[in-house]
A = this chain, B = another copy of it.
Amino acid sequence: MILFRCDYAEGAHPEILKRLVETNFEQLDGYGCDRYTESARKKILEACACPDGEVHFLVGGTQTNATVIAALLHDYEGAVAVQTGHIGVHEAGAVEYTGHKVLTLPQHYGKMDAGELEAFLVAADADPNKDHMVWPGLVYISLSTEYGTVYSRAELAGLQEVAHKYGLPLFIDGARLGYALASPACDFTLADMKDLCDVFYIGGTKVGALCGEAVVFTKKAPKHFFTTIKQHGALLAKGRLLGVQFDTLFTDNLYSRIAANAIDRAQEMVTVLKEKGIPFFLETPTNQQFVILENRYMESLSTKVGFDIWEPYDADHTVVRFATSWATSPEQIRQLRELL
């Protein structure tokens, strides 16, 4: 059995495990007040060309989304997201649990359109009942999106311009940021992110770490964000676990190098899928590919290859997702080719 179900099927990049072992018996202060976490913060700000930014480490994506969103919003505000936005669908209502509504816009293969965002904000502002409604408080997008698509620099700039025009920060869920940046379709770099949004995170869990997301506030974190992290149950006593991992990921460009592997393998996988005549629902420039399988074939294939069932296509077909990751080997793509 070989899994292309997701990008978190393996543990961590071996270099990370090596560093965890090497530093294991160093006595360090807890809660992220150790030298590795400090070093990781510096390296990330440097990689982001954002010396005045602020970095905080949290454990997982849903947690990070809920914590950052709750910290940025006033009680009377909600987060604007597209209908397929992770926060509105697959996070078990974690944002609403903090008291905030997710306000939804249409999605375009996972992406938000700046024009539609502006139309929504104009209408919200013009609504005679606006004082009886949730106020838009921030704009949430994901990069790459839930559909593996990537915004262009111009699209992000457009979203940010609209968001700022209406006084809202732009927050980018970067659980798969590495794969977006490594994609040939991406026309900007990590160092550009500071100009394109107010806060984003650099996903570790799906890009080589055991766990961990590095939140980058491009200007300044909300006051007492450390306490907010604690209040959300998101503060590790052994903060070193996150510090050492991100310190390693941001040494010698490890993060971008291993993200690039996922993209290379995904492109090989696309070739294989096409060669086998499997129709695409959506071919993307990142590590997730969506194809249409006939249901009986899907059943039999599923005994040999792991993939993710996405949504019904029609009565006889289903959209499924194949994902590569930092850990996918050329050999695994060859195996896939044989099994298809």
Contacts and interface: CB of A to CB of B under 8 A. Distances in A.
Nearest to A58: B233
B30 A20 contact: no
Contacts of A102: 101
Contacts of A134: 92-93, 96
Interface in A1-59: 1-3, 5-6, 8-12, 14, 17, 20-21, 23-31, 59
Given A76-B92, A227-B132, A233-B234, A27 B12 contact: no
A83 to B, nearest CB: 10
A84 interface: no
A187 interface: no
Contacts of A70: 75
A127 to B, nearest CB: 9
The majority secondary structure among interface residues of chain A is loop
A24 B8 contact: no
Interface stretch (A61-69, A177-185, A188-196, A263-271): A61-69
Given A8-B238, A92-B76, A24 B14 contact: yes
Contact of A75 (B31, B60, B64, B228): B228
A131 interface: yes
A100 B233 CA distance: 15
A126 to B, nearest CB: 9
A17 B21 contact: yes
Contact of A233 (B1, B233, B309): B233
B233 A63 contact: yes
B238 A210 contact: yes
Contacts of A71: 75
Nearest to A103: B93
Contacts of A306: 27
A121 interface: no
A90 B237 CA distance: 12
21 contacts: A1-B27, A9-B27, A10-B25, A12-B20, A12-B24, A27-B306, A59-B59, A60-B235, A70-B75, A76-B92, A76-B227, A76-B231, A89-B133, A90-B133, A91-B231, A93-B133, A94-B231, A94-B232, A131-B230, A135-B227, A205-B238
Nearest first, the 4 A-B pairs at minimum CB distance are A63-B233, A11-B24, A93-B134, A92-B230
Interface of A: 1-3, 5-6, 8-12, 14, 17, 20-21, 23-31, 59-64, 66-67, 70-71, 74-76, 78, 89-94, 96-102, 128-129, 131-135, 205-206, 210-211, 223-224, 226-228, 230-238, 240-241, 306, 309, 327
